[in-house]
Structures are given as structure tokens and as C-alpha cells.
Structure 1
Amino acid sequence: MTAHGASREALVAARERLDALTDSTSVDAKALAGDLAAVTALLDREVSLRRVLTDPAQAAEAKAELAGRLLGGQVSGEAVDLVSGLVRSRWSASRDLVDSLEELANTADLTAAQKSGELDDVEDELFRFDRIVSSNAELRAALTDKGASGKLRGDLVKQLLGGRAKPTTERLVERLVTVPRGRSLEGGLESLSKLAAERRERMVAVVTTAVPLTDQQKQRLGDALAKLYGRRMHLNLDVDPGVLGGIKVQVGDEVINGSIADRIEDASRRMAG
């Protein structure tokens, strides 16, 4: 989604919280996606509730407590924490909250696909389905028929993709046609494809340092690693006073020790500055 001003800041912070959660092996990203999608649907229907949760005149903690009371026991604790963080934030428009929740749900589903090694397939299937819909006016009309219920449109997606595409692809497309939220089908599929591409390009670096890094050092190291690997880098940070050379970076199976690796020499120099 394209967000501006306060909404953009809130979305960036929420993405970081989601990344931190889904990087943990203890969090079921697929289940989290389902919970976030359910909250998205709720707030899309309940306009008055959405306005209360995004009202800048209301105290941030009061809004978070309200969200917790409404959602507690209905969705996972991780989903409640994410939603609580979202409603604590300021939003340029109440709809931006729902758009952001929807993106987080889709991202969590794509993360689950990434963990299972299926993300490339999902990205390809989304693209191919978009091409099929664009070239088949009858199919497009059926999938966007406002006279049919969302369930009927979703059932059609299951018939089309069930057993032929990855479950993640089926879920993403089913949610899109069930609750289009005013978007064109092609526009929604394009957004999903872009989100999948962004997820595929993202890498995770586990960084262990002898002392905690400052925010400036984190930024410099992240930029240096992104340049080194040619991909956006998320840093998982740990502190170990005994780490050799003062820093150790692990990206996938590659472990780079700060005292001997020329490849991060520049990053180490920047961190010292």
C-alpha cells in the first residue's frame, strides 16, 4: 500500500514488529496471517469502531486496551500485540489502519511460504493468475460480480486454484475476491505480486556484537550489508561480550567474523565512527 505522513510512519513500525515476530521459529506465520485477516475484515465492516481506534483525540493506551478487550481470546496474543501497536499510532485516515492490517496479513502469509520454500512458486502463480484474469473477460466478471456473495466468489477461487496452486496463493486470492475493498481485481493481484517480490528480496542477518549498537550503527551496518548482498537486510541483534573481533554476522549459512572478514571491513569501520 502507499501511505503518507503519520500513516506511513505507523506502517513502517508495524512492518518491523511483524518481521521481529515472524523471524521467530515459535510463531506460526500462517496462523498469524489468518488472525490479522479476520481483524481486517472486522474493521472493514465496523466503520464506527475503526474511527474510534484511529481517533487522535483518544489516548493511545485507551485505544490499545479497547482493542485488547475486543480481540482477546478471539485471536492470538501476537495478533493482539500487533493490533494494539497499530492503534497506538497516529493515522492520516482511518482507512489506512485497515489497509495496513491487510498488508500485514498478506505479508505474514508470504513469510510462511518463504519459510517453507514456496515463495518463488507463490509469486509465479500470482503473476500467472493475473495474466489469466486479464485475458479472460468472462472469468474476471465472475470473480468481481457484485451481485454474488463474497463466499460464492471465494468458492470459485477454490475451484480454480484448489490442488493447482500453493495453498498460500489460494488464500491470498480468495481473500482478495471475497473482500475486494473497492480495488480492481488486477490492481489487487498486482499489489500481492509486488509484496511477494519484496519479501523474496528481503534477507535476514543475525548480528552478534560485543556491545549494543547505537541506532546510527545499526543503520550503517544494515546499509553496508544490503550493498554487499544486493538485497534489503533485516538485522536480528544479539549481544555477546565474548564474540571474536567484536562482531559476528550470519546471513543464511554464511558466517562472517568481524576480525578477519574483508567483506565487512567497510561496515566495521563505519560502525566505529
Structure 2
Amino acid sequence: MTITGAVGRASLAEARERLETVIPSADLSALGGDLFSVLRLIDREHGLRRAVSDPARDGSDKAALVQGLLEGKVSAAALELVADVVRLRWTKPSELSDAVETLAVTAEAARAEADGRIDDLEDELFRFSRVIEREPQLRGALAGPGLPADRKSGLLDALLEGKVTPATLTLVTELVLRPRGRSLEGGLAEFGKLVAQRRQRLVALVRSPVELSEAQRARLAAVLATAYGHEVHLNIELDPGTIGGLSIQIGDEVIDGTIAGRLDDVRRRLAS
């Protein structure tokens, strides 16, 4: 879901700014779902996706096309936002699809934020990713081709409904039913990053051999926030293999203070 071209990145930034102007007055219980509906439409109808992402076509014509198709089928806020998005310049059709998905996930994050539950959303996405890693049968049922979509949706409802935020259920269901070429774990990680960006904070994966107390978590988050100049959200993973100390990963950077990490470093030095 990463848009790499300069033109696409600029358009995505503008689309996200437009979303922020829509959020305060939108029905957030509907906005994300409406945007996911639009995403499904343009992913399914390749001719439509090419037409509304064509950089040579007038933006007003593209906006009129989607307005004619979507009028009365999605909320006014979603329709207004999608019309604005197709007016922007996209160098290839997949950029438009990825941008709409980004907006849909961000809208769900805003929904959780408005409910005071954005921390829960982050934690639930992370914990669910760890559950499916530990439960290969569950992962196979959700990610494999064996179960039809309605059975997968029913399984997710049985597992999660009433136990997680509505935004979590929406995002996980979307990934399971429409992975868009990603693994389930990869999609959860991407969505988790977008939720973290909603709070403009970094995400640290912390591996520890023992559970950390609330006081220890708070101190670690404060130290990392000072070091990186951003609020840092901690995802804690118990890992007896670390032996002692902590392993902390933020983006591509790994801070390894574990005994196991130091032993691996000694082995690498001896082998070189």
C-alpha cells in the first residue's frame, strides 16, 4: 500500500488533508465503511479505475463520473471526498486504489479516536496479528481459500464482535475478505502503522522475557519519546528467547539489549 512516486505521494498528502476537513462533520460510523465500499468497486471494475485515475482526463469529468455512480449509495461526506480524490493526479491506477484504502483506514482510526478508543484499536490489531501467528489453523481458515467469505465473516464475528472496538472488527474483516495481495499479518502491520500515524507517533515492538509493569512501560515510552522526538506507542511481545534485557524495534532500527543479542554479536565477530 506504499505509494512511491513523487506525484502520487503529493496527491496522497493532499487527499489526507482533505479527509481531515471532512472528519469533523462526518458520520464516522459510516465514513470508513463507505470508503471501503468505493475501494471494492474500483478494485473490481478495472475500466472504471483506469477512467477515474487517468491523468490525461479532466478532473471535473472524473468527479462527475463517480458522483453519478455513487450518489445515494454512500454518505455525502464519502461522496464529496472521493470526488475530490479522483480530481487529483495519479500516475497509475493502483495509486488511486491505495489512496482510497489509506483514507478508509484513517477514517476508522478517527472513529476510534472520537470514541476515546484509538489506543484499544492499535493494541487489538497488534494482538490479533500475534494470535494468528500462534494459531496456524485459525490463520489457515481466515487466509486460505477453503472457507467462503460469509463463513469467514461469521467466524470473525464469533471471535471478535463485542470484544473489540467496531473499528477493529471493520479493519480485520476487510483484510480477511479482501487482502489485496498481502498476507494477513502484513495487512495488519500496514493498518497498524496508519492508526499510529493518526496520533503522529512511532510504534515500537518491544520483546521482553518477562511482562513489564505499567510503570516500566511508562518509563520506557518516555525514554524512547525523548530519543526520537515523537510519542512512542509500545507493542509488547513476551519472548523467552531474549534471555535478558529488551529488544526494541522502531521501523527498520533495532535496539538490542538482550543477552541473546550480545551472544549473537560475539558469534558474528568470531566468524568474521
What TM-score results when the alignment is normalised by the length of structure 1? 0.71
- What is the aligned partner in structure 1 of residue 242 from structure 2? none
Alpha-carbon distance between aligned partners in 1 of 2:43 and 2:85, rounded to the nearest angstrom: 15
Deviations 1:24-62 (A, max 9, x none): 2x3212211111111011111111110111112221111
Alpha-carbon distance between aligned partners in 2 of 1:40 and 1:182, rounded to the nearest angstrom: 14
Alpha carbons of structure 1 residues 31 and 231: separation in structure 2 relative to 1, 3 Å = farther
The answer on whether the counterparts of 2:35 and 2:103 sit within 8 Å (CA) in structure 1 is yes
- What is the aligned partner in structure 2 of residue 143 from structure 1? 142
The answer on whether the counterparts of 2:109 and 2:118 sit within 8 Å (CA) in structure 1 is yes
Q: What SS does the corresponding residue of 2:199 show, helix, strand or coil?
A: helix
1:55 aligns with 2:54: yes
- What is the aligned partner in structure 1 of residue 186 from structure 2? 187
The answer on whether the counterparts of 2:2 and 2:98 sit within 8 Å (CA) in structure 1 is no
The answer on whether the counterparts of 1:7 and 1:90 sit within 8 Å (CA) in structure 2 is yes
The answer on whether the counterparts of 1:5 and 1:92 sit within 8 Å (CA) in structure 2 is no
The answer on whether the counterparts of 1:151 and 1:178 sit within 8 Å (CA) in structure 2 is no
Structure 2 counterpart of 1:17, which letter?
Answer: R
User: Aligned-residue CA RMSD in angstroms?
Assistant: 1.7
Deviations 1:62-112 (A, max 9, x none): 111111111111112211111111111111220111111111111111101
Alpha-carbon distance between aligned partners in 1 of 2:198 and 2:19, rounded to the nearest angstrom: 12
1:32 aligns with 2:31: yes
> CA shift at 1:156, angstroms?
1.5
The answer on whether the counterparts of 2:55 and 2:91 sit within 8 Å (CA) in structure 1 is no
> CA shift at 1:147, angstroms?
3.6
Structure 1 counterpart of 2:86, which letter?
Answer: V
Note the 1:1-273 alignment, pairs <5 A: 1-3=1-3, 4-22=5-23, 24=24, 26-201=25-200
What TM-score results when the alignment is normalised by the length of structure 2? 0.71
The answer on whether the counterparts of 1:40 and 1:102 sit within 8 Å (CA) in structure 2 is yes
Unaligned ranges ≥5, structure 1? 203-226, 233-273
Structure 2 counterpart of 1:139, which letter?
Answer: L
The answer on whether the counterparts of 1:29 and 1:109 sit within 8 Å (CA) in structure 2 is yes
Q: What SS does the corresponding residue of 1:153 show, helix, strand or coil?
A: helix
Alpha-carbon distance between aligned partners in 1 of 2:95 and 2:147, rounded to the nearest angstrom: 27
Deviations 1:177-233 (A, max 9, x none): 11111111010000111111111237xxxxxxxxxxxxxxxxxxxxxxxx9xx659x
Alpha-carbon distance between aligned partners in 1 of 2:6 and 2:174, rounded to the nearest angstrom: 28
Structure 2 counterpart of 1:44, which letter?
Answer: D
> CA shift at 1:173, angstroms?
0.2
Alpha-carbon distance between aligned partners in 1 of 2:37 and 2:22, rounded to the nearest angstrom: 18
Unaligned ranges ≥5, structure 2? 202-225, 232-272
> CA shift at 1:168, angstroms?
1.4
> CA shift at 1:146, angstroms?
2.1
Identical pairs, percent? 46
Alpha-carbon distance between aligned partners in 1 of 2:157 and 2:140, rounded to the nearest angstrom: 16
Structure 2 counterpart of 1:130, which letter?
Answer: S
Alpha-carbon distance between aligned partners in 1 of 2:83 and 2:151, rounded to the nearest angstrom: 33
Structure 1 counterpart of 2:2, which letter?
Answer: T
Alpha-carbon distance between aligned partners in 1 of 2:155 and 2:11, rounded to the nearest angstrom: 35
Alpha-carbon distance between aligned partners in 2 of 1:119 and 1:184, rounded to the nearest angstrom: 24
Alpha-carbon distance between aligned partners in 2 of 1:155 and 1:45, rounded to the nearest angstrom: 23
Structure 2 counterpart of 1:47, which letter?
Answer: H
The answer on whether the counterparts of 1:30 and 1:108 sit within 8 Å (CA) in structure 2 is no
- What is the aligned partner in structure 2 of residue 236 from structure 1? none
